[in-house]
Amino acid sequence: MTHTIALCHWINGQKIEADRPSQSLNPSDTRETVAAMPDGGSAEVDAAVDAARAAFPAWSEASPEVRSDVLDRAGTLLMERRETVGRLLSREEGKALAEGIGETARAARILKYFAGEALRLHGQNLPSTRPGVEVQTYRQAVGVYGLITPWNFPIAIPAWKMAPALAFGNTVVIKPAGLTPATAEALVAILHEAGLPDGVVNMVIGRGGVGQAIVDHPGVDGLSFTGSQGVGAGVAMGAAKRQARVQLEMGGKNPLIVLDDADLDRAVQIALDGSFFATGQRCTASSRLIVQDGIHDRFVAALADKVKSLRVGDALDPDTQMGPAVSEAQRDGVYGYVDIAREQGGRIVTGGERLNLDKPGWYVQPTLIADTTADMRINSEEVFGPVASTIRVKDYEEALTLANGTEFGLSAGLVTQSLKHARDFQRRSRSGMTMVNLPTAGVDYHVPFGGSKKSSYGPREQGFAAADFFTQTKTSYSAG
């Protein structure tokens, strides 16, 4: 048994004590409380926004070296502590320990990447249409950003929203997910330890009311949200009402096409990784496996073997390959979708049963469902769990049509040896990201991330695209 972490809000560089009516539990063993947390409201959000506004002038006007140094130091500290922070992440979120440590290292690298970007913010210099006049563009800090982050990447997503906001001179109010606040708090604490000035990052812990107060606050200039499509639509409406900037990353129903010419072992490994790693709780997870007729039966049989042999268990056990679902609601949602798929005619090839291990946790069986059709609910709604369904197609064109045929468009994959089909897919896939001979999930941090249709809204996140959202452009004309 490890002790329960007593969480506080962070406002103006101080830890603010409050009652702690809620807990985050260890999904691998729900007898263990990871953290006890406060339940903030609009009073804490008001104080946090005031602190962020007060900190903005000095932070945005400081040399970019000041901002760069803080991010670089925080990245170094986080990398040094990736084992302990990664362990906390896995205890609180339930992803396998190697994934928890890997995600923490990724967050550290994101901080370091944006430490460099702080110095590379650049504009353009153009001749005017009028002789003797010059036009220049600058990118400038915007103000206070409200960040609302999900539980499935409890440290990487707070890092990839906070790091560009800070690098470019903005200040922040963040609400971490209620299921994983201790992991996010570890990052906020490290930023302060690295020398972040008071008020530049403020964190208010709580439920939906905190998010709503941030969305509606007139002192928040921009909102970045990752989560469900329904909540995201509300964030966008709240932002539109008061003309705040907004960026949303929401769901996916990501297709992985496997063509007849694919290397079977490779296709199976790609599907396994994309569909089941991180317990399938990634918006980039492969959930629709669209498989050509000639390889279909061999692919389904070989993938089923691999899925069956995945070791499901306590996230902290080094032998575990797949941890539990994050919560009871999430686990029950997975069961619900498997039942619906069965009722609608899907064939459960492996998994699909309730899973009870030797300790109380939200464990689920990794599940493969064959013989599904595109119109079934299992192929149109996001499950967010370790479930993949296969759809049989006759050729590439049919596969592409199905791949594009959902309201989502985040990531799409193709396994093939055909350069012709690969190139065609890269152009005609209606998703924000395409993956050829790679899993749909697992992205780099130095390039843009985002989708089309109902997967994303607003400017792209991450990489060089992050400056589009976290700065505003000033156009300056001058004559000699």
> Is residue 443 close enough to count as binding ligand UN1 by CB under 6 A?
yes
Least separation, in Å, of the C-beta of 270 and ligand UN1? 13
Residues 194-253 that bind ligand UN1 (CB under 6 A): 226, 249
Nearest to residue 429, comparing CAs of 455, 465, 458? 455
| Minimum distance from residue 326 beta carbon to ligand UN1 (Å) | 12
Phi/psi of residue 249, each to 5°? -120, 120
Q: How far apart are alpha carbons 173 and 15 in whole angstroms?
A: 14
Among 41, 219, 234, 442, binds ligand UN1 (CB under 6 A): 442
Task: Pick one of 24, 90, 152, 292: the residue that binds ligand UN1 (CB under 6 A).
Answer: 152
CB of 288 to ligand UN1, least distance (A): 16
- The first and second tokens of residue 10, run together, are 């962070």
Tell whether residue 326 is a contact of ligand UN1 (CB under 6 A).
no
By rule CB under 6 A, what count of residues binds ligand UN1? Answer: 11
Q: Does 284 bind ligand UN1 (CB under 6 A)?
A: yes
* 179 lines the binding site for ligand UN1 (CB under 6 A): no
Give me the catalytic one of 44, 249, 382, 461.
Answer: 249
The reply to whether 64 sits near ligand UN1 by the rule CB under 6 A is no
Pick between residue 170 and residue 224 the one whose CB is nearest to ligand UN1: 224
Least separation, in Å, of the C-beta of 153 and ligand UN1? 5
Closest distance of CB 446 from ligand UN1, Å: 13
Does 282 sit near ligand UN1 (CB under 6 A)? yes
HEC string for the chain: CCCCEECCEEECCEEECCCCCEEEECCCCCCCEEEEECCCCHHHHHHHHHHHHHHHHHHHHCCHHHHHHHHHHHHHHHHHCHHHHHHHHHHHHCCCHHHHHHHHHHHHHHHHHHHHHCCCCCCEEEECCCCCEEEEEEEECCCEEEEECCCCCCCHHHHHHHHHHHHCCCEEEEECCCCCHHHHHHHHHHHHHCCCCCCCEEECCCCHHHHHHHHHCCCCCEEEEECCHHHHHHHHHHHHHCCCEEEEECCCCEEEEECCCCCHHHHHHHHHHHHHHHHHCCCCCEEEEEEEHHHHHHHHHHHHHHHHCCCECCCCCCCCCECCCCCHHHHHHHHHHHHHHHHCCCEEEECCCCCCCCCCCCCCCCEEEECCCCCCHHHCCCCCCCEEEEEEECCHHHHHHHHHCCCEECEEEEECCCHHHHHHHHHHCCCCEEEECCCCCCCCCCCCECCEECCEECCCECHHHHHHHHCEEEEEEEEC
Residue type, 262: A
Partners of 370 in beta bridges: 347
325 lies in the binding site for ligand UN1 (CB under 6 A)? no
Contact flag: residue 150 with ligand UN1 (CB under 6 A): yes
**272 touches ligand UN1 by CB under 6 A:** no
Q: Is residue 349 close enough to count as binding ligand UN1 by CB under 6 A? A: no
Q: Which is nearer to ligand UN1, 250 or 290 (CB)?
A: 250
Residue 47 is a binding residue for ligand UN1 (CB under 6 A) = no
The yes-or-no answer on residue 61 being catalytic is: no
Query: Residue 152 or residue 434: which is nearer to ligand UN1 going by CB?
Result: 152
Candidates 301-309, 319-327, 422-430, 435-443; binding stretch for ligand UN1 (CB under 6 A): 435-443
Annotated catalytic residue within 93, 117, 283, 382: 283
Minimum CB distance to ligand UN1, residue 152 (Å): 5
Measured from the CB atom, the residue of 227 and 361 that comes closer to ligand UN1 is 227
Q: Considering only residues 25, 111, 223, 283, which one is a binding residue for ligand UN1 as defined by CB under 6 A?
A: 283
Rounded least distance, CB 382 to ligand UN1, Å: 11
Least distance from ligand UN1 to the Cβ atom of residue 335, Å:
21
Stretch that binds ligand UN1, among 84-92, 112-120, 149-157, 426-434 (CB under 6 A): 149-157
Rg (CA), the chain: 23
Whole-number Å distance between alpha carbons of 276 and 334: 13
Residue 249 is among the residues annotated as catalytic for this protein: yes
161 binds ligand UN1 (CB under 6 A): no
Q: Which residues are catalytic?
A: 249, 283
Residues that bind ligand UN1 (CB under 6 A): 150, 152-153, 226, 249, 282-284, 441-443
